[in-house]
Amino acid sequence: MEKSVIGATFDAPAVDRYPAPNAGTQRWIAALGLIALAVVLPFVVSKYHVFELTMVMIYAIAVLGLNILAGYNGQISLGHGGFFAAGAYTAAILMHRYGVPYWATLPPAALICFALGVLFGLPALRFEGPYLALVTLALALATPQLLKYFDNWTGGQQGINLTKPLPPHWLVIDRDRWLYLIVLAALLLAMRIAANLLHGRTGRALVAIRDHPIAAAALGIDTARYKTLAFGTSTLFMGVAGALAAIVIGYVSPEGYNLFLSLSFLVGSAVGGIATIGGAIIGGLFIEFVPNLANDISDAAPWAIYGLAMLLFMYTMPQGVVGSLGPWITRSMRQIRAQRAAFAGGDEEHDGKGRTS
Amino acid sequence: MHELLQQIFSGLVAGAVYASLALALVMIYRATDLVNFAQGEMAMFSTYIAWTLVNAGLPFWGAFIITLLVSFLGGMAIERVVIRPIENAPVLAAVVVTIGLLLIFNSLAGWIYTYTVKDFPSPFPDRPLFGALTTTRDLGVIGVTLVMLALLFAFFRFTKTGLAMRAAAQNPDSARLCGIRVKRLLAIGWGLAAAIGAIAGILVAPILFLDPNMMSGVLVYAFAGALLGGIASPLGAVVGGLIVGVTENLVGTYLIASQLKLTVAFALIILVLVLRPNGLFGTAIVRRV
């Protein structure tokens, strides 16, 4: 904490750098291309892979939520699995008990988790660093216990079984691909909202609070308000992700929301890119696929391999994949553009000379 | 009344173990501003080393000393190989690295020693004392913790290395200008923490039985104890650990069924922290900007 100086802000890849004039259109084209690819993807891979990719996107929403808090605002939470669980159980209870259609469970899950996050964030204002880590760790450990304790609502140990929703009958696709598309839409919306929130005044305020809380307060940033806002927004994302997970998996149970889940989100957020939005997808991929890969490499000690992978990523890319590679890519893109401009400029100069002679 | 005292005593025994591990956490936090989430698993691994030595036929205290030495060197090696490369990385990266270490140690222990629960010998005889209030074994656990605390106090108060470590933790730059090899001391700090953790592991293993997940619960309570006492205060860590041990035991016995024991114990600890955000023995950190 004490080591960080105000200058650190310039190194952090948090705030959008001023892009080159026509970079905006290029970026839009690239984004549209990626979205088109993501829409086509489920129709070319097997059903099981569709499910896996759906989970990747759900984890990405969750990682994005945690990144708003931990990456941008520097509040490290070890307990966000608790809010993920709250979202999942909100959806499950609404669907199972009250017969609410699956899509209508998302707004209540988001609202409830936002409220829970703000309520939790208020006492958390008093805590920093390791103290916040302890409080959130307690939340992560309490989650399965609380879920088991209130068993007339949560179904206790058995959990709740849900029927997976069907696609509208005018659409001729199966249910897994339909859910994939819904989750994709949710992810895109989440990324758009996060970008609007973070690439501006609010994002700068959050980063300033992370890098130097005292200086931020001295500049007139209402630190308590922004920290609570960051907490609430991040848990809102968690709630939506949790609700989607409940719908897609069709099952919720206390043991699924343990400490390990919370830690996975944190790992995903660090590996993907601290304080980046695109990094969330890398984080989702890491959470979904690396444990399986580790199992393939060594079924005797898979978690040792998983741990080694975490260490390796952190050593080679301490800012996360997107946080470390992103600036490099931007730099090389800029170089290429500059070279192109130089070529074009050279041609014009040549032409100009030709005319004068 | 007798039962209450009995519960307090057994809480103190658990608390002594939490206190030892909390001390290890505090050592590392003071030196590197880092909460080492792998501390419990490191201790567990050390305990397996002791178990191997005892099973190979060494006398208990011989195995104890060798384990401490091996843990000390292992801790130094971890600092050098794993922690130093991320010295200047973001906090989140450092947290992830210690979580990675946790997974690696847990998985390695499961791989080498399997997940079956193992008996671990206690060096102390198990005889009831003071009309079954406590046992000689429990007193032994508390005694070892107190001796360790006294030794650590002496180390930091009277030895040159101990004083240098305090200087390096307090102000690394000035310490370096005084000719103190700060990085070497960081490594020693990690080594000491690993050795202290090993003691905690060896103390708790006869009670909880030895398996790769033995220390995960202990770590959480130790962490709570360290923070309750004030994360930068070794004495606070010990007192905090003891308080957590007693609270946990009393909550479990009198307040609520063990199902929610952990939740309620934590709620109480957090309540205390809301009122005293720097812990019972911590002082508010004043930062010059």
Where are the domains positioned within chain A?
Answer: 8-356
- A298 DSSP 8-state letter: -
CA distance A264 to A271: 10
- What does pLDDT average to over chain B? 85
| Contact: A148, B259; criterion CB under 8 Å | yes
Contact A304 B96 (CB under 8 A): no
Q: How many CA atoms lie within 13 A of B39 on its CB side?
A: 35
* SS3 at position A252: strand
pLDDT class of B263 with cuts at 50, 70, 90: confident
List C-alpha distances in Å: B281 to A152, B77, B148, B240: 42, 31, 20, 9
C-alpha dist (Å) from residue A87 to A123, A151, A183, A237, B107: 21, 17, 15, 9, 31
The pLDDT of residue B248 is above 90: no
Give the integer Cα–Cα distance in Å for A45 and A252: 27
CA distance A277 to A288: 18
Nearest to A130 among B97, B106, B231 (CB): B231
- For residue B41, give every residue at least 6 positions away whose Cβ sits within 8 Å of its Cβ, in sequence order, or none: B101, B102, B105, B106, B109, B215, B216, B219
Check whether B232 has a pLDDT greater than 70. Answer: yes
Chain B residues whose CB is inside 8 A of the A303 CB are 103-104, 106-107
Mutate to test the interface with B, among A305, A310, A316, A324 (most CBs of B within 10 A): A310
Distance CA B199, CA B20 (A): 7
Dist CA B125 CA B263 (whole Å): 34
CA distance A86 to chain B (A): 16
Select the residue from A2, A219, A234, A314 to test the B interface by mutation, using most B Cβ atoms within 10 A. Answer: A314
Tell if the CB–CB gap between B231 and A74 is shorter than 8 Å.
no
- Phi then psi dihedrals of residue B72, to 5 deg: -60, -50
Answer whether residue B173 shows pLDDT above 80: yes
For residue B256, the chain A residue with the least C-alpha distance is A149
Nearest C-alpha in B relative to A218: B289
Q: If we measure between CA atoms, which residue out of A102, A14, A355, A215 comes closest to residue B288? A: A215
CATH 1.10.10 assigned to domain B2-275? The reply is no
- CB contact (8 A) between residue B273 and residue A271: no
Please, which pLDDT band fits residue B289 given cuts at 50, 70 and 90? Answer: low
Interface of B with A (CB under 8 A): 29, 33, 35, 82, 85-86, 88-93, 95-97, 99-104, 106-108, 110-111, 220, 223-224, 227, 231, 259-260, 262-263, 266-267, 269-270, 273-274, 277, 287, 289
Percent of all residues in chain A with a pLDDT value above 70, rounded to a whole number = 90
Scanning every residue of chain A, which has its alpha carbon at the shortest distance from the alpha carbon of B230?
A131
Q: State the burial class of residue B11 (Cβ atoms within 10 Å of its Cβ: 0-12, 13-18, 19+).
A: buried
- Minimal CA separation from B286 to chain A, in Å: 11
Q: What is the ipTM of this complex?
A: 0.82
> Residue A184: its pLDDT value, please?
94
User: For B265-280, how does the pLDDT look when each residue is reduced to its tens digit (9 = 90+)?
Assistant: 777 777 777 787 777 7
What's the pLDDT score for residue B286?
Answer: 61
Q: Say what the pTM is.
A: 0.84
Single-letter amino acid, residue B210: L
Q: Minimal Cα–Cα distance from B34 to chain A, Å?
A: 8
Mean predicted confidence (pLDDT) in B230-235: 81
Beta-carbon separation of A310 and B108 below 8 A? no
User: CB–CB of B263 and A146 under 8 A?
Assistant: yes
Q: Which of A74, A145, A270 sits opposite B93 (nearest CB)?
A: A270
For residue A304, the chain B residues in CB contact (below 8 A) are 103-104, 107-108, 111
The token duo for A354 is: 């030709």
Chain B residues closer than 8 Å to A269 by CB: 92
- Closest CA relative to residue B199, chosen from B251, B143, B244: B143
Best mutation site among A72, A134, A150 for testing chain B: the one with the most B CBs within 10 Å?
A: A134
d(CA B88, CA B34): 12
Q: Please give the Cα distance from A85 to A257 (Å, whole number).
A: 6
Taking the C-alpha atoms of residue A290 and residue A296, their distance in angstroms, rounded to an integer, is 10
Q: Answer for the pair B214, B60: CB distance below 8 angstroms, yes or no.
A: no
pLDDT given for residue A335 in this prediction? 84
Task: State the angle between helix axes of A106-124 and A223-249 in degrees (0 to 180), rounded to the nearest 10.
Answer: 140
The pLDDT score that the predictor gives to residue A244 is: 95
- pLDDT class of B46 with cuts at 50, 70, 90: very high
Supply the CATH classification number for the domain A8-356: 1.10.3470
Q: B25 to chain A: nearest residue by CA?
A: A130
The predicted structure's pLDDT at residue A7: 40
pLDDT at residue number A90: 94
Output the CA–CA distances (angstroms, integers) from residue B211 to A285, B38, B44, in the order listed: 32, 16, 8
By C-alpha distance, the chain A residue nearest B114 is A300
**What local confidence, expressed as pLDDT, does residue A23 receive?**
66
Return the residue matching tokens 């580790």: A294
Count how many residues are written for chain A.
357
What ranges do the domains of chain B cover? 2-275
The chain A residue lying nearest B275, using CA atoms, is: A126
Which residues lie closer than 8 Å to A256 by C-beta, 6 or more apart?
A85, A159
Residues of chain A with pLDDT under 70: 1-23, 345-357
Angle, vertex CA B126, rays to CA B122 and CA B127, nearest 5: 160
pLDDT above 50 for B187: yes
The number of beta carbons lying within 10 Å of the beta carbon of residue A291 is: 15
Nearest CA among A315, A322, A313, A210 for reference residue A267:
A313
Q: What is the pLDDT of residue A283?
A: 93
Cα Rg of chain A (Å, integer): 22
For chain B, the helix, strand and coil percentages under 3-state DSSP, each to the nearest 5 = 75, 0, 20
Sequence-distant (6+) residues with CB within 8 A of B126 are B135, B136, B137
DSSP 8-state class, residue B1: -
Tokens of A123: 């006492």
